[in-house]
Amino acid sequence: MTAPDRLDVDLGHLRLHALTWGDPSAPLAICLHGFPDSAWTWRHLGPALAEVGYRVVAPFTRGYSPSEVPADGDYHVAALAYDALELHRALDGDDRAVLIGHDWGAMTVHAIAARADHPFRRLIALAVPPIAAIRERSVGARLRLLPGQLAKSWYIGFNQIPVLPERVLGRMIPMLWRRWGPAPDAADVDNALAALPSTAHRTAALGYYRAPLRARVAPRYADDSTAWLRLPISPMMYLHGAADGCMHSGFVKGLAEVLPAGSVVTQIHGAGHFLQLDAPDVVGQHVLEYLEG
């Protein structure tokens, strides 16, 4: 496996640390991780993309060490999307650039896909479908899936409790990895824990779940604070692990019908929530075929 280089990127409002693969002059591929995870989740896909001619930049997103805990304390999806767009600008990305996101990274992709002015040639999301697409399903379909999804999503409510989640996150993260898919590689769990070394970092990671309940977002991000709740208007690829223990795979059914023309929706059998790690070769093949197409 190709070892990554390291990069610090000053966005002006925030400093991000990233893993990188590939020629710095090649077309940009930004890869965004989710929770509870880190930039190391791209340790398979990053080298594969570099091999076919991309410069891969996988940041530890805001609040995840060794990136900064943001001074504004904002973890809304609008802030995550702003960071991704600023990262494209800071790295001199052009219209050949692609954006790939998993979990909260996927939510970021959906928010950007709902904009008419984004700079990315291709958008790819993994493991979390657009919220608006879920709302488009029939009431009956949602009611059939709701009990199972509520059982899977218990941790979201737990994360709203003050202080306690920060104290038990060191035990909760390994448990979530075990429940969300096939037996995880211990190194991946260790990488997730290493990205949250302090209470401030853990509060930041939990802030992603607490931010949607806030009455307002920081002014810098307020102009597009509802994009993540709208249907995408750009075509995208969406990949979902058939054995996902976090997000019910039943939400994939009918998804292609509500996404823009040209979108591709695929379930990856034998993979769970962290499908890019559970089935790296299969995921990599789908991603590369979509990018080449």
Tell me the CATH number for domain 5-292.
3.40.50.1820
Region 196-216 average pLDDT: 91
For 107-121, how does the pLDDT look when each residue is reduced to its tens digit (9 = 90+)?
999 999 999 999 999
Range of weakest confidence among 18-32, 34-48, 125-139, 152-166: 125-139
Give residue limits of the domains in the chain. Answer: 5-292
Place 135 in a pLDDT band, splitting at 50, 70 and 90: confident
Place 138 in a pLDDT band, splitting at 50, 70 and 90: low
Region 124-138 average pLDDT: 87
Per-position DSSP letters for the chain, written without gaps between them: -PPPEEEEEE-SS-EEEEEEES-TTSPEEEEE--TT--GGGGTTHHHHHHHTT-EEEEE--TTSTTSPPPTT----HHHHHHHHHHHHHHTT--TT-EEEEETHHHHHHHHHHT-SS---SEEEEES---HHHHHHS-HHHHHHHHHHHHHHTHHHHHTTSSSHHHHHHHHHHHHHHHHTSSPPPHHHHHHHHHT--SHHHHHHHHHHHHGGGSS---GGGGGGTTGGGSPP-S--EEEEETT-SSS-GGGGTTHHHHSPTT-EEEEETT--TTHHHHSHHHHHHHHHHHHH-
For 35-88, how does the pLDDT look when each residue is reduced to its tens digit (9 = 90+)?
999 999 999 999 999 999 999 999 999 999 999 999 999 999 999 999 999 999
